[in-house]
């Protein structure tokens, strides 16, 4: 018998793969949503990158219906997304904005709808924002624009009449820099002691799922601030 059921949106990315492994190691049934299948998961819904917003939504909702049936899940965790730089004068400005919007905002709204349909009462839905998007992001406008929208969505989901199941908690994590292989490759000279480990994030999700008293209030934006290899969870 499993300890619970979780869905990880972005379950084949750097963070998503660690989250999947963590919950599998703790006897959870784990489903994933991504552009490719995660072999470690119990079930995977695969979306096509070239599909539009509405089609991706249909793929995910129908895929979850097929793998869950009438069952509900304890949490839906969205760790999908990406990064692109650029300001208003950049040649590919519109393209970078469109990419960031599709990666972060599409997946977050699909996660919200999936939570309305498949999350247990008292369950957890977690989205991924970004600490820099609490202010202007002149050198990465598309990224900041999309992450700020995720923040707004989280706050809306935390209000009454948002469509979330009774007693559910909606929260967004706002990391500064995650300690991923790609970040280490492109920022090899950075101070890694200020980067948040993927294992810390996975353990934080587990703590929030395991006990409601550990969770922030619904609608919260939570910064992950790491210094000297120690991470503090700070509500905005």
Residues classed as catalytic:
143
The first and second tokens of residue 54, run together, are 């509405």
Q: Which residues contact 24 (CB under 8 A, 6 or more apart)?
A: 30, 40, 41
Write the burial class of residue 162 (CB in 10 Å: 0-12 exposed, 13-18 middle, 19+ buried). Answer: middle
CA of residue 212 relative to chain centroid, distance? 19
Whole-angstrom distance, CA of residue 56 vs CA of residue 103: 11
Q: Are strands 220-227 and 230-235 parallel, antiparallel or unpaired?
A: antiparallel
Q: Which structure tokens are listed for 41?
A: 């998961």
Q: Give the C-alpha distances (Å, rounded to integers) separating 22 from 124, 159, 190, 201.
A: 17, 30, 27, 10
Alpha carbon distance 136, 145 (integer Å): 9
């Amino acid at each position: 018998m499993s300890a619970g059921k979780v869905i990880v949106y972005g379950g084949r990315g750097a963070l998503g793969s660690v989250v999947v492994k963590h919950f599998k190691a703790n006897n959870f049934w784990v489903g994933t949503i991504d552009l490719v299948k995660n072999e470690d998961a119990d079930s995977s819904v695969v979306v096509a990158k070239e599909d539009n917003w509405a089609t991706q939504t249909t793929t995910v909702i129908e895929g979850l219906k097929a793998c869950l049936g009438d069952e509900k899940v304890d949490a839906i965790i969205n760790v999908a997304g990406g990064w692109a730089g650029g300001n208003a004068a950049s040649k590919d400005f519109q393209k970078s904005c469109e990419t960031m919007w599709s990666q972060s905002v599409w997946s977050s709204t699909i996660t919200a709808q999936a939570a309305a349909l498949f999350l247990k009462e008292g369950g957890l839905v977690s989205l991924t924002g970004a600490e820099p998007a609490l202010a202007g992001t002149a050198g990465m406008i598309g990224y900041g624009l999309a992450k700020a929208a995720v923040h707004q969505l989280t706050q809306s989901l935390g209000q009454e009449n948002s469509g979330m199941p009774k007693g559910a908690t909606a929260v967004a994590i706002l990391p500064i820099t995650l300690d991923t292989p790609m970040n280490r490759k492109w920022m090899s000279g950075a101070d890694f002691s200020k980067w948040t480990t993927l294992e810390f994030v996975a353990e934080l999700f587990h703590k929030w799922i395991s006990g409601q008293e550990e969770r922030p209030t619904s609608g919260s934006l939570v910064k992950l601030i790491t210094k000297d290899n120690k991470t503090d969870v700070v509500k905005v």
